[in-house]
Structure 1
Amino acid sequence: MTDDRKEFAFNSVIRWLREGNFVINEEKSTIVTSDFYAKMLSPAYPNNPIEIKSSPSIGNGILIQIKLGLTPTQIATITNPNGKLSLDLDNIMSTIIKSGSLVLSEDKCAILLESMVLFGSQLLESKHNLINLISSMLESATGLQEIA
């Protein structure tokens, strides 16, 4: 996919999210390096910031990350003494997370719920499907916060 098409796809996602009442707090585009970034909030889930990223280092798609609004105590509950996610969490996650394409990962002192949407996929061609994916991710994030 050309850089122009990647930029168009990323800008379409941002426009759809604005139309879906998401509040864009930060937006950066570096056309030369094909790096795109936006940070936003959903009014329905103000404690879970959403980051949308695309760059050559990420691969051929857009990475959607939701930072779980967890306290240090909650993070300690779902991680092992080494700071890695507890293996027991996999069993709990499967009942909470709505999509098999979501991944839970650690980033410094935060737990992130992630989904990679490849360029050319149906999700990036449909405003409705993309907003449904992000809404499902936010619901899953809320469910994970409740067990922590």
Structure 2
Amino acid sequence: MNPVEQRRASQRSRTLLEGHIIYNNRLSRMECTVRDLSETGARLVFAQPVKVPAEFELQIPKKKLARRAQVMWYDGQNHGIMFLDDGEGAANSVPPHMQSDAGTLSLGREASSVPEILDEARHRIARLLGVSVDVIQLKVEIDR
């Protein structure tokens, strides 16, 4: 066992998964490959050296995973990241207040603000179109 492995809080598994880094208030996205994954972090690989924001959301569509993360180390193409959230509910990218018992989206009393309603609409549209929610952008115009 090498010294880096001894410092890890949890066992990492080798993977070859498509990942998306979401940042800039969900307006920007980068593609990456997730090569190692654990409960506490991951190693991301890029096709070419890139500068990644210090903090971002990592989405792994095949695992239905969305986690807040921060860069711990990098060498240009490889970035070691640590997850900032506890991972509860991370297997589902749909916010809990928008889920019903049947697994469909519903607008409950908890979702009463405009951002929550728009977020629900983005999730519904993404599900209907079979695309990732991060590619859906909504614009609201109010005529008074």
Query: Normalising to structure 1: TM-score of the pair?
Result: 0.29
Query: Normalising to structure 2: TM-score of the pair?
Result: 0.29
Q: Which has the higher contact order (CA 8 A, sep 6+)?
A: 1
Structure with the larger helix share: 1
